[in-house]
């Protein structure tokens, strides 16, 4: 896996808020593709806006574009039969990453998931963020939603697109080699690994921009289980540690480890205003209850916890001092920071950070409620038991996974 690069100039970035902005931009880019489309996602749901993306991929393949799709085997447990046949006829190549099967949950090594959301079109344009290929108004577990998910992505051109392309191409080659190895297709294994070793470096990826004269500084940060185990977490720690005025985070599943908790508390002690937007609606037992003891601790130390109430929060974004910003797939929780493959774009630019900060300020002012320590302490005893139980189970899972957090 490639080492994450230093922040470089030469980028043009567009902040995309929710599926209403993201999906038209993504479908438009796929429809413009001439040579290749690579897409990775945790969830690929073939309804609503997801069907629009699936159809755009089919159209691209039909006109001779090479289309490669990877989706996570847990986030996407199956593909509808008619879509499998449609893609087969059109020539879309797809792969489900590490399905659990019947015993997968019992094997800690299988807990590693593909959680990043990336797309590269013709090696010239990339998309990165937290938005799955899933209609904002639909949920696989809750059905139709009255309020769309709150989430963000970025569309980007510039040098980091080449790194994104190389990472995705290498990952596809590894998946194909693994699949062929499992089928004992030795000749094809050798061919796949030869292709993997001969992939062009990032600067030579198809359509890569080699210019370094743009005004926007950005970098692609990855989290994997080989060489980039702590890249995204270190980026957050460095930015929070350098903050002097304001830190604002919006994170769907916020359960920071000791280092991140200390960084936030130390920032408050330095006089930095720290605001954290978290999920206010009950979605999943573990994430909801395990986070509450940590949120109460942070609130007691001066961190402003803001619960997003209208619907489901799915964003994974942050702004520090109106200059540093990140948009990506990584939650600040053990699964994302210790086990999952993640991708974030980090941006050093006042205009971009200002747009994201303004969007988050509107959310905080109009759609959140402040964490109430008194009300939290008065909750029924059994809810507090659930909190401790969920937190304990989370720690036990980490123990079995062999990771410290």
Reduce the secondary structure of 267-326 to three states and give it as a string.
Answer: HHHCCCEEEEEEECCCCCHHHHHHHHHHHHHHHHCCCEEEEECCCCECCEEEEECCCEEE
Let me know if 72 is a catalytic residue.
no
Q: Is 11 a catalytic residue?
A: no
The tokens of 107 are what? 């094997």
> Is 301 within 8 Å of 265 (Cβ atoms)?
yes
Backbone angles phi, psi at 278, to 5 degrees: -125, 170
Cα distances from 143 to residues 140, 146, 284, 299, in angstroms, run 6, 10, 15, 33
Radius of gyration of the chain (CA): 21
pTM of the model: 0.89
Q: Among 45, 52, 72, 117, which one carries the catalytic annotation?
A: 117
CATH topology of domain 8-204: Endonuclease; Chain A (3.30.870)
Catalytic residue (one of 11, 95, 115, 165)? 115
As a whole number of angstroms, the distance between CA 257 and CA 337 comes to 9
How far apart CA 353 and CA 154 sit, in angstroms, is: 12
Which secondary-structure segment (H or E) carries 125? Answer: strand 125-129
Alpha-carbon gap, residue 384 to 198, rounded angstroms: 55
Instruction: Look up the CATH superfamily of 217-401.
Output: Endonuclease Chain A (3.30.870.10)
Six token digits for residue 43: 């969830």
Do 250 and 339 meet the contact criterion of CB atoms below 8 Å apart?
no
Which among 165, 316, 333, 349 is annotated as catalytic? Answer: 316
In this chain, the answer to whether the domains covering 8-204 and 217-401 adopt an identical fold is yes
Predicted confidence at residue 98, as pLDDT, reads 87
Cα separations in angstroms, 16 against 10, 269, 328: 19, 34, 12
pLDDT for 155 equals 98
Q: How confident is the prediction along the chain (405 residues), in pLDDT tens digits per residue?
A: 334 457 899 999 999 999 999 999 999 999 999 999 999 999 999 999 999 999 999 999 999 999 999 999 999 999 999 999 999 999 999 999 988 765 655 565 667 899 999 999 999 999 999 999 999 999 988 899 999 999 999 999 999 999 999 999 999 999 988 777 766 655 554 555 555 444 444 444 333 334 344 579 999 999 988 788 899 999 999 999 999 999 999 999 999 999 999 999 999 999 999 999 999 988 888 888 899 999 999 999 999 999 999 999 999 999 999 999 999 999 999 888 888 999 999 999 999 999 999 999 999 999 999 999 998 888 898 888 898 888 888 777 666 555 666
Say how far apart CA 346 and CA 27 lie, in whole Å.
Answer: 24
The first and second tokens of residue 197, run together, are 């070793």
- What pLDDT sits at residue 286? 84
What's the maximum distance between 2 C-alpha atoms anywhere in the chain?
A: 66
Q: E strands along 130-272, which residues?
A: 138-139, 143-144, 152-157, 216-223, 246-251
| Nearest Cα residue to 255 out of 220, 227, 297 | 297
Query: Catalytic one among 11, 95, 289, 314?
Result: 314
**367 is annotated as an active-site residue:** no
How far is 324 from 348, CA to CA, in rounded Å?
Answer: 5
Q: What pLDDT, on a 0 to 100 scale, did the predictor assign at position 11?
A: 96
Structure-token match 């690929």, residue found: 44
pLDDT tens readout for residues 11-45: 999 999 999 999 999 999 999 999 999 999 999 99
| β 316-320/93-97 pair status | unpaired
Give me the pLDDT at residue 60, please: 98
Question: Among 31, 35, 321, 348, which one carries the catalytic annotation?
Answer: 321
Q: What length does the chain have?
A: 405
Q: What confidence score (pLDDT) does residue 93 get? A: 97
Q: How far apart are CA 266 and CA 259, in angstroms?
A: 10
Sort residue 119 into left (φ over 0), alpha (ψ -120 to 50) or beta.
beta
Kindly list the distances between the CA atom of residue 25 and the CA atoms of 21, 29, 175, 363, 387, in Å, as whole numbers in the listed order.
Answer: 7, 6, 28, 23, 40
Domain ranges of the chain: 8-204, 217-401
Give the span between the Cα atoms of 401 and 405, in whole angstroms: 11
The pLDDT assigned to 2 comes to 39
User: In this structure, are residues 112 and 340 in contact, taking their beta carbons and an 8 Å threshold?
Assistant: yes
39-67 pLDDT tens trace: 999 999 999 999 999 999 999 999 999 99
Catalytic residue among 52, 122, 136, 224: 122
32 in active site: no
**How many CB atoms within 10 Å of residue 262?**
15
């Amino acid at each position: 896996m490639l080492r994450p690069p230093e922040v470089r100039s030469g980028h043009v970035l567009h902040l995309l808020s929710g599926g209403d902005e993201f999906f038209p931009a993504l479908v438009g880019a796929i429809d413009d593709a001439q040579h290749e489309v690579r897409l990775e996602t945790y969830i690929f749901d073939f309804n609503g806006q997801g069907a629009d993306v699936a159809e755009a991929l089919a159209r691209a393949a039909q006109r001779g574009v090479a289309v490669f799709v990877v989706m996570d085997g847990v986030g996407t447990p199956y593909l509808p039969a008619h879509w499998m046949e449609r893609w087969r006829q059109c020539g879309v190549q797809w792969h489900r990453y590490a399905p659990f099967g019947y015993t997968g949950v019992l094997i800690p090594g299988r807990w590693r998931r593909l959680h990043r959301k990336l797309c590269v079109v013709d090696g010239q344009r990339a998309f990165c963020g937290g938005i799955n290929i899933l209609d904002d108004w639909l949920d696989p577990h809750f059905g139709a939603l009255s309020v769309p998910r709150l989430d963000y992505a970025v569309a980007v051109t510039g040098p980091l697109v080449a790194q994104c392309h190389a990472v995705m191409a290498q990952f596809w080659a590894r998946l194909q080699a693994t699949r062929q190895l499992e089928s004992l297709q030795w000749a094809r294994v050798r061919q796949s690994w030869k292709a993997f070793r001969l992939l062009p470096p990032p600067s030579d990826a198809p359509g890569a921009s080699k210019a370094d004269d743009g005004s926007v500084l950005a970098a692609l940060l990855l989290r994997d289980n080989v060489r980039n185990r702590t890249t995204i977490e270190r980026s957050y720690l460095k930015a929070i540690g350098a903050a002097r005025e304001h830190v604002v985070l919006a994170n769907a599943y916020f359960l920071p480890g000791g280092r991140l908790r200390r960084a936030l508390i130390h920032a408050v002690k330095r006089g930095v205003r720290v605001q954290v937007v978290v999920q206010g609606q009950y979605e999943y037992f573990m994430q909801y209850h395990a986070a509450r003891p940590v949120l109460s601790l942070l609130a007691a130390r001066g961190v402003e916890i803001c619960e997003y109430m209208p619907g489901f929060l799915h964003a994974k974004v942050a702004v520090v001092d109106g200059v540093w910003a990140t948009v990506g797939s990584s939650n600040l929780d053990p699964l994302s920071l210790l086990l999952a493959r993640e991708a974030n774009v980090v941006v050093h630019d006042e205009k971009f950070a200002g747009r994201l900060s303004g969007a988050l300020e509107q959310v905080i002012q109009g759609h959140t409620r402040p964490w109430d320590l008194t009300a939290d302490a008065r909750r029924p005893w059994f809810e507090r038991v659930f909190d401790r139980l969920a937190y304990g189970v989370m720690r036990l899972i980490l123990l079995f996974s062999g990771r410290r957090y």
